[in-house]
Amino acid sequence: MNTLVYSIEQTENPETLYINLTNSCTNNCIFCLRTQKDDVCGKEMWLENENFSLEDIIEQFKQFPTPKSVCFCGYGEPMLRLELLKAFAKYLKGNYPEIFIRVNTNGHANAIHKRNVLPELKGLVDEFSVSLNGSDENEYIKLSKPRIQNAYGEVKKFIKNASEEGFSVVATVVTGFISNTPDIEKCKKIAEDLGAKFRARDFIPNGY
């Protein structure tokens, strides 16, 4: 069965539920769990197919107690499934307005969809956590191995646009993976200059 909704907390009342929308991504990060394991906290994460519907996500969501927050984050880039992401976020905002909605993204969405999708997500998404993963293009390419042109520039543009549109934005960097750590101080300054908060997080071998 497809794992569309999962928790990484060892409790029956998780504060955050995660939504797994796709196996695809426009990066191929060297630290990506997809390249190292098939599960997160024992949940099989590779989707058997991507033909599922909004109703399938809602059905799995309802099997958990109502969480404080929902995060779109799985074994792929959630913004590739933009329409489904919007539909489920709309369902949540309509039925559980108190739930905080975050999207963990590689920041390529506007390049992928060839338009600025941020206005479509206003009122649906509260926060974007965007993988900055580099203080320059070389550092970014080493860690993220992007499959689109000018990916680093696109990520920075996405962070700036999202901040200007009024979303809460956190630019993130993964540290400590096979001694491939970007220049943290420079990354922090770049994030702040783009209007975002900054978070460096250690690579976690067993899950997000």
Least Å distance between CB 55 and ligand SF4? Answer: 25
**What dihedral do alpha carbons 74, 76, 77, 78 form, nearest 10°?**
-50
For position 29 contacting ligand SF4 by CB under 6 A, the verdict is yes
Sign of the alpha-carbon torsion through 9, 11, 12, 14: negative
Q: Is 71 in the site for ligand SF4 (CB under 6 A)?
A: no
Per CB under 6 A, the list member of 2, 34, 120, 195 interacting with ligand SF4 is 34
Of 27-35, 54-62, 121-129, 198-206, the segment contacting ligand SF4 by CB under 6 A is 27-35
> Rule CB under 6 A: is residue 129 a binding residue for ligand SF4?
no
28 in contact with ligand SF4 (CB under 6 A): yes
Residue 104 · residue 73 · CB < 8 Å: yes
For residue 163, state whether it binds ligand SF4 (rule: CB under 6 A). Answer: no
Q: Is 131 in the site for ligand SF4 (CB under 6 A)?
A: yes
What is the rounded CA–CA span in Å between residue 102 and residue 18? Answer: 9
Q: Does 82 bind ligand SF4 (CB under 6 A)?
A: no
Q: Which stretch binds ligand SF4 (CB under 6 A): 5-13, 25-33, 36-44, 95-103?
A: 25-33
> Which of 154, 189, 187 lies closest to 172, judged by CA?
187
Q: Helix 137-144 to helix 151-164 angle, to the nearest 10 degrees? A: 100
Question: 65 or 153: whose CB is closer to ligand SF4?
Answer: 153
Structure token digits, residue 114: 């060839």
Question: Which residues, other chains included, contact 54 with Cβ-Cβ below 8 Å and sequence gap of 6+?
Answer: 84, 87, 88, 91
The two tokens of residue 134 are 């580099």
7 or 131: CB nearest ligand SF4 = 131
Per CB under 6 A, residues contacting ligand SF4 are: 25, 27-29, 32, 34, 76-77, 106, 131
